[in-house]
Amino acid sequence: MSLMLNQHVLVLNRLWQAVNICTARRALALLFQGHAQVVLNHADGSFQTYNFSAWQDFSEQEPHPESIQAVSFRIRLPRVILLLAYDRMPKKEVKFTRHNIFERDRNTCQYCGKVFDRKDLNLDHVIPRDRGGPTSWENIVCSCIECNTRKANHAPHEVGMRLIKKPKRPKWRPFVQINFSLHQHDSWKHFVNLAYWNVELGEDVE
């Protein structure tokens, strides 16, 4: 039973947007406390929500292999729950790391536009540090060795170079995207396959 209670449940906010993944144990606790409802996708494509007592009744009427035996009743494990009082998306700062700069720039030299192995790329200060250029998302880009050597300790325009795009702090994508390595239940598809989850790496990502 403990293994079943550790299964993953998709968590939706009040606007029906996927915001988290929790264990079935946590989902049942939220359901019991009245903080969440179970979302069930019926065969006809419709969705129905259940509070704890309604879900308990449904579990008794519709036996299911993904059910656990409590002291006095059996209850089916939810796969998707809806939070009743939470309408925000998770906000997270993107860590300013070498890995994330490579991800943002797609392993592409921001001066010549060619893609390289990471070992053949440097991180370049667009405005050189000794001229007050900060070490920040807006002033650090990937640069190949040849472009880095040509640019040396100059601003790009001083040596006839230009950036292929202006560097900026990437936006954090909804973090369910990060958990795509987890086994997804069929009932999640409607919520995690929405267009705004499918952000191409390097645009609005970590």
Residue 164 lies in a domain: no
State percent of the chain over pLDDT 70. 80
Mean pLDDT computed over 136-145: 95
Cα–Cα dist 37/28, whole Å: 9
Residue 118 lies in a domain: yes
pLDDT higher than 60, residue 179: no
Residue 203 lies in a domain: no
Count of domains forming the chain = 2
Does 178 lie in the same domain as 80? yes
Strands of the 36-41 sheet, one edge to the other: 18-23, 8-12, 80-83, 36-41, 47-50
Q: Tokens 């640019």 label which residue?
A: 151
Does 83 lie in the same domain as 51? yes
pLDDT higher than 60, residue 115: yes
Domain of residue 113: give its range: 98-159
